[in-house]
Amino acid sequence: MENLRILFVQFSSSSLTIPLQVDFPLLVVTDSFEKALEWCEESAFEVVVIEGESGESLLPFLRGVRQRSSLTRFLFLSPHPFPSMLSEIAQAGIEGFFHEIPDPFRVRQALSLIAKTFFRSADHAKEKSRLIQAIAKEDDRVMMLIEVDHLDNYHTVFSLAFIDAILQEVGDFLEHYKPDGSEIFSISEEKYAILMEDENTFRAEDFATILNVLILDRKIYVKKQEVDVSFSVGVAKGRGETLLSKAYAALRKAKESGRKHVVLAEDDEEFRFFQRENLRWMRGVRHALEEDRIVPYYQPIINNATGKIEKYECLARLIDHEVVVPPAIFLQSARQIGLMSNVTFAIINKSLTLFQNNDMELSINIAEEDIRDAKIIRYLLNRCERYGIDPSRIVIEILEDITFGRNNKSLEHMRYLHQEGFKIAIDDFGFENSNFGRLIDMEVDYIKIDGSFVKNMETDDRSYKIVDSIAKFCKSIGAKSIAEYVHSQGVQERVLALGIDYSQGYFFGKATPKPLEGDSLI
């Protein structure tokens, strides 16, 4: 372990015992952020351990370390949780691991786990290098990129030793069940690549399909405790580093869509084209935000009882040299570079500025990554206060999958916004993935019926029956129903026949930079 150097920062409030004998270089600094920063500048430390509570913000110290060295990994040891540590870690842009130690004499054990983690990271780097060498052949190969779901949640619940044991079991499981003739590579803590010399993706698709069934049957036990493990899988075919990029893209699509696996069908040339376009829009979104070219467009929502416009949905658009770019082109790029909340905040601010002098409702789409962050609550309340808008006029639109996902923080924040007076709408509602019990508990105000059913209900009897069932469900839980994609008189007549409360679609008006003429806003 001579290549691992650890800086141990300990404060006087600590009750832990400094380990005097460990198997790697250990520098202990007590009660001095400045001294710790000096050592970070003068020496190359792979890990900084912060133990105890300083009684002051750690943010200046964390940022100082980032400025003075390339170090990005911290481990925090404490008999008690740090009250503001999570937010400070996020602000400093570092990777942090927590290990709560009730027993002072277990510090040495924890530091040994740090060492194990460090050397495992080195092993992952070697495995990734070996993978890149293996795919650097002329022939096409098939790759499955497998990720253990929600491993970040494990770090908040289990000790490092427990997580280490989980990952050992997962690795053994994948090694045992991998397809014949394939090779497995452990390329990060939570990711595994399986490489196959198949001519097509059929076997990989079959394996990806049954993988989560196999893990349920096998079960993972650590210290006699059953651990819930599931996987997301990206499958791709190609050669060289393009194959690895395609597998990463397929995995990302699997996670974003909520599906357990995705096969990327594009050939290498098509994929490289899409990647270039994606990079172009990453730059484009950043520049558009800097130049204030992300703007809301407004689509009317009709009250079917009165036939009048009662509310508007605020939809994001990017203006690119007088071309209006729809969100399907640029929002994914914004998400990938961490600017989704910037786009959301821009739409909120501009929409509320326009609607402050009328009494109409406005619907604003909030992405899951935004609703998870408490900043969205503070920002919405701040904007409402600034523009004198009652929160009851604002409808927060969220996708249906947020209501049944594992992230309880999202649900907690939605409930808080509801209590503050904001209304909640479930967007693109269909029966496929719905958690009806959770919807009832949330007491949602509106349910927007999936437009893929609404637009076909005039000619497709199955779509009509699905829309009818959803409309009846809305009434049963006291939620107002909204039909999206109403594009013709015939569809609207069927919507009215089913007693749906509101309609939205091109039949009434496309999204425009200002509300339609005749509204009180113009």
CATH of the domain at 176: 3.30.70.270
Claim to verify: residue 307 and residue 449 sit in the same structural domain: yes
Instruction: Classify residue 284: in a domain, yes or no.
Output: no
Name the more confident of 106 and 473: 473
Task: Report how many domains make up the chain.
Answer: 3
Query: In terms of Cα–Cα distance, which of 150, 228, 163, 237 is closest to 200?
Result: 237
Degrees to nearest 5, angle at CA 297 with 457 and 333: 90
pLDDT for position 101? 46
* Mean model confidence pLDDT for the chain: 79
Q: How confident is the model at residue 287 (pLDDT cuts 50, 70, 90)?
A: very high
Last residue of a domain, one of 49, 79, 114: 114
Q: Which pLDDT tens digit goes with each residue over 296-307?
A: 999 999 999 999
Instruction: Please tell me whether residue 483 adopts helix, strand or coil conformation.
Output: strand
Degrees to nearest 5, angle at CA 255 with 249 and 258: 135
Instruction: Classify residue 280: in a domain, yes or no.
Output: no
The whole-angstrom separation of Cα 151 and Cα 248 is 17
Name the more confident of 486 and 154: 486
Residue % of the chain over a pLDDT of 70: 70
pLDDT for position 371? 87
SS (HEC) of 206-257: HHHHHHHHHHHHHCEEECCEEECCCEEEEEEEECHHHHHHHHHHHHHHHHHH
Instruction: Classify residue 511: in a domain, yes or no.
Output: no
Tokens read off for 258: 């909520």
pLDDT for position 2? 44
pLDDT for position 112? 59
Claim to verify: residue 244 and residue 146 sit in the same structural domain: yes
Q: How confident is the model at residue 333 (pLDDT cuts 50, 70, 90)?
A: confident
Q: Which pLDDT tens digit goes with each residue over 87-119?
A: 665 566 555 544 444 444 455 555 555 556 555
Q: Which pLDDT tens digit goes with each residue over 304-317?
A: 999 999 999 999 99
Express the helix, strand and coil content of the chain in percent, nearest 5 each.
Answer: 45, 25, 30
Q: How confident is the model at residue 37 (pLDDT cuts 50, 70, 90)?
A: low
Claim to verify: residue 186 and residue 234 sit in the same structural domain: yes
pLDDT for position 105? 46
Claim to verify: residue 495 and residue 348 sit in the same structural domain: yes
pLDDT for position 310? 92
Tokens read off for 333: 């790029």
The one-letter amino acid at 428: D
Instruction: Classify residue 282: in a domain, yes or no.
Output: no
pTM of the full structure: 0.62
Most confident of 57-71, 128-142, 492-506: 492-506
Q: Which pLDDT tens digit goes with each residue over 203-217?
A: 998 998 888 888 877
Domain carrying residue 165: 135-265
Name the more confident of 97 and 220: 220
Claim to verify: residue 101 and residue 200 sit in the same structural domain: no
Which has the minimum average pLDDT: 71-80, 213-222, 387-396, 398-407?
A: 71-80
Name the more confident of 56 and 242: 242
Name the more confident of 361 and 403: 361
Name the more confident of 34 and 201: 201
Q: Which pLDDT tens digit goes with each residue over 246-285?
A: 898 888 888 877 777 877 776 767 777 777 787 888 899 9
Claim to verify: residue 351 and residue 491 sit in the same structural domain: yes
Instruction: Classify residue 513: in a domain, yes or no.
Output: no
Q: Which pLDDT tens digit goes with each residue over 135-170?
A: 887 788 899 999 998 877 776 666 667 888 888 889
pLDDT for position 419? 93
Task: Reply yes or no on whether the pLDDT at 83 is more than 60.
Answer: no
Claim to verify: residue 91 and residue 189 sit in the same structural domain: no
Which has the minimum average pLDDT: 121-135, 221-235, 278-292, 377-391?
A: 121-135
Task: Reply yes or no on whether the pLDDT at 424 is more than 60.
Answer: yes
Q: In what order do the strands lie in the sheet with 73-78?
A: 26-30, 6-10, 47-51, 73-78, 95-100
CATH of the domain at 310: 3.20.20.450
Task: Reply yes or no on whether the pLDDT at 120 is more than 80.
Answer: no
Claim to verify: residue 208 and residue 254 sit in the same structural domain: yes
Which has the minimum average pLDDT: 12-21, 235-244, 353-362?
A: 12-21
pLDDT for position 15? 44
